[in-house]
Amino acid sequence: MLLPVQCVFCGTRCFADEGRICNGCLVDLPWHERLTEPGPAPLAVIAAPLEYAFPVDAALKAFKFHRRLEYGPAFAELLCRVIQELPGDIDSLLPMPLHWRRQAMRGYNQAHELVRVLHKQSDLPVLASVGRVRATPYQSGLDAAARRQNLRNAFKASAAIESGHVLIIDDVITTGESCRRLARVALNAGAGKVSALAVART
Ligand SMILES: [Zn+2]
């Protein structure tokens, strides 16, 4: 028997057609007016349905740092809906890699949690050949120059990428610097184009 699904934001029981965020909470979320923007080079498109504001900011922090893994499928369902509005030639998903040490400490990678559901619902293959080779300190609190320095050579591809259009998946996009770095590595490994999709953008 299936347990009734509770809304991750308000806790009320969701109707069968609602998913994990009830319609009341869904309309109250801080939606961006436009889903996509032309990406800063080398990204083709950068997309995020939500603003990084209450209650999304609190939810994403809980998801990322406090094991509130129920937010994973809730936000992934939301991304599944918007992925159809992205360029139709997207043919693979690339979760923002986490350094193995940080992943071991945290026990999970929030981007993987999102991608697992997206993969199941969209049938897009997941690229696993790009990893994080440097355990970079957290980006928050660093200025732009420090962020760039911080991310130098952070990612490495271990195999060629045969994909026409890769979609990077992350929880939040702030400056977009990590996505741009990762995109460059994917392009050098053979990807035709790279875009990025996150739950929220600051
Ligand atoms: Zn709700």
pTM given for the model? 0.91
Q: Output the CA 6–ligand 1 centroid distance in Å.
A: 8
H or E, element range at 170: strand 165-173
Q: Output the CA 197–ligand 1 centroid distance in Å.
A: 24
Q: Output the CA 119–ligand 1 centroid distance in Å.
A: 25
pLDDT digits (tens, 9 = 90+) for 113-150: 999 999 999 999 999 989 988 766 666 667 777 777 77
Helices 71-83 and 110-122, interaxial angle, to 10°? 50
Is the pLDDT at 55 greater than 60, yes or no?
A: yes
Is the pLDDT at 1 greater than 60, yes or no?
A: no
| 133 against 176, higher pLDDT | 176
pLDDT value at position 139? 67
Q: In sequence order, what are the residues at sequence separation of 6 or more whose Cβ sits closer than 8 angstroms to the Cβ of residue 100?
A: 131, 132
Q: Output the CA 82–ligand 1 centroid distance in Å.
A: 20
Residues 31-201, CATH architecture: 3-Layer(aba) Sandwich (3.40)
Q: Output the CA 21–ligand 1 centroid distance in Å.
A: 6
Of 51-55, 154-158, 186-190, minimum mean pLDDT range: 154-158
Q: Which whole number is the average pLDDT over 141-168?
A: 86
pLDDT value at position 97? 93
Domain boundaries, the chain: 31-201
